[in-house]
Structure 1
Amino acid sequence: MARIFITGSADGLGKAAAQTLLTDGHEVVVHVRNEQRLTAVQDLVTQGAVVLVADLAVLEQTRDLARQVNSLGPMDAVIHNAGVYSEPSVLPVNVVAPYVLTALISRPKRLVYLSSGMHKGGQPNLDDMDWSGQRVTGTYSDSKLFVTTLAAAIARRWPDVFSNSVDPGWVPTKMGGPNAPDDLRLGHLTQEWLATSDAAEARTTDGYWHHQRRVARHPAADDLKFQAQLLDALARATGVSLP
């Protein structure tokens, strides 16, 4: 059985993935934004999950979350699930936090980053991005292009780690809305599969997945120059260098 850390586990796809993985017998570490959200994961804690608290919109709290995770011992997989749609915290939560946690958490065997089909509308332009969230700069689509590019960059730099990004589809979560047309179960199945499965396809890297199928991603995610620019921008903005 694997030990898996999932960010943004209070509701939606993160909580659904945590529930399934616990049911399957895995050891799960969940995360909520603040202490008021602890009640949202009490059912998971009752089933054996460990819960950590940090606001991913705040850089120092994100750094501290990495320290909390490392204090528990090595993880087999990390699912970077947390995400927001509204400004101004889109870049800090959707991009900066996955980068900082990737850099500071002891390297797991598998990394899974939540992207979106909307990443294809993102612009591969890092000019004037405010990574702190003090100003409204990048869009949600931009943020998902950036995190998809981050996943690809990690796959290239860390060949001993399976690093993949996932389009969960438009599913009926709080973010997706009640009328979203896609299957909620399929929305979190691929993340669980990539984090734990011994299937040959799941034990691969540098993929962009939708419902357990590799699909095409924005060409910018494969651009080595853009990957390097993104990593450099994030390192400068956070003071955290990727090992």
Structure 2
Amino acid sequence: MSRILITGSTDGLGLATADALQSAGHDVVVHARNPERAGALDPLVGRGAGLVIADLTDRDAVRHLAGELNEGPPLDAVVHNAGVWSGPAVMPVNIVAPYLLTALVPGPRRLVYLSSSSHFDGHPSAVGVDWRGTKSGGHGGGSSAGGSYADSKLFVTTLAAAVARLYPDVLSNAVDPGWVPTRMGGPGAPDDLELGHRTQQWLAAGDDPEALTTGGYWYHRRRQRPHRAVHDEGFQDRLLRILAEETGTALAPR
């Protein structure tokens, strides 16, 4: 049995991932943005899931969350599922929070970061990026004030690859769950919600040889080729340096 944190687990893919992992016998820790949203997790908590609450747009809240997690039983895996599609929270939630949790919670040996096929439209440049979410914009695949959703997903996919390179003992992978009918994806999304969470579950806890690999970009349990910038070590290092400077927190040696 593994202990696994799933961020953004009050609905959609996060809730499905948490439910599947708990049903498979794992000890899950679910996450909500605020106490009101946490009510959706009552069934999982009632079955024994741990619950943490933190607004991932707030760096101090992310740091408090990391401290809370480090004081509890060790985590075996983290599924960085939380994400937003538009607005000023795009960079804080989609890349800054996963980066900080990776840096501040050093124990897990499996890390799964939610990417998107939109990352192919991202720009491998941090110039003008609104890491703090103080500007409007951040919508859709193209450029916008402070960076786009596509940019954020390129960054988090690159983070997954960088962690895999720097920490050989950690299984770090990115997943494109597909365009699925969630609150963010919309009811008309054409992909399969069931398939949309199975890869995260598999990478977080599976024991198949392929699930025990690292540095991959996956779609429905098939390894895909990501944007060429993802495995560019120069871009990885620049991104990590900027995130360390922006947050005042560097990835520590392990």
User: Does 1:215 find its partner at 2:215?
Assistant: no
Q: Distance in 2 between matches of 1:121 and 1:107?
A: 33
Which of 163, 167, 170 lines up with 2:172 in the alignment? 163
Q: Distance in 2 between matches of 1:67 and 1:10?
A: 22
Deviation at 1:36, TM superposition (A): 1.0
Deviation at 1:148, TM superposition (A): 0.2
Residue 10 (structure 2) aligns with: 10
Alignment of 1:175-190 (within 5 A): 175-190=184-199
Q: Distance in 2 between matches of 1:16 and 1:34?
A: 19
Alignment of 1:63-82 (within 5 A): 63-82=63-82
Q: What is the letter of the counterpart of residue 208 of structure 2?
A: A
Kept in 2: contact 1:152–1:221 (CA 8 A)? yes
Report the secondary structure of 1:31's partner residue. Answer: strand
Deviation at 1:87, TM superposition (A): 1.3
Which of 129, 135, 147 lines up with 1:138 in the alignment? 147
Alignment of 1:17-28 (within 5 A): 17-28=17-28
**Deviation larger for 66-75 or 165-174:** 66-75
Deviation at 1:107, TM superposition (A): 2.4
Residue 56 (structure 1) aligns with: 56
Residue 225 (structure 1) aligns with: 234
Q: What is the letter of the counterpart of residue 34 of structure 1?
A: N
Residue 33 (structure 1) aligns with: 33
Residue 163 (structure 2) aligns with: 154
| Moved >6 Å (runs of 4+) | none
Residue correspondences, number: 243
Report the secondary structure of 1:29's partner residue. Answer: strand
Q: Distance in 2 between matches of 1:140 and 1:92?
A: 11
Report the secondary structure of 2:209's partner residue. Answer: coil
Q: Distance in 2 between matches of 1:51 and 1:184?
A: 24
Residue 139 (structure 2) aligns with: none
Q: What is the letter of the counterpart of residue 28 of structure 1?
A: V
Q: Distance in 2 between matches of 1:90 and 1:240?
A: 20
Q: What is the letter of the counterpart of residue 203 of structure 2?
A: L
Deviation at 1:67, TM superposition (A): 0.9
Kept in 2: contact 1:74–1:106 (CA 8 A)? no
Report the secondary structure of 1:198's partner residue. Answer: coil
Percent identity between matched residues is 58
Report the secondary structure of 1:8's partner residue. Answer: coil
Root mean square deviation of aligned Cα: 0.7
Q: Distance in 2 between matches of 1:107 and 1:209?
A: 23
Q: Distance in 2 between matches of 1:135 and 1:237?
A: 16
Q: Distance in 1 between matches of 2:64 and 2:30?
A: 15
Instruction: Give the gaps of 5 or more residues in structure 1.
Output: none
Q: What is the letter of the counterpart of residue 228 of structure 2?
A: P
User: Does 1:45 find its partner at 2:45?
Assistant: yes
Q: What is the letter of the counterpart of residue 35 of structure 2?
A: E
Residue 112 (structure 2) aligns with: 112
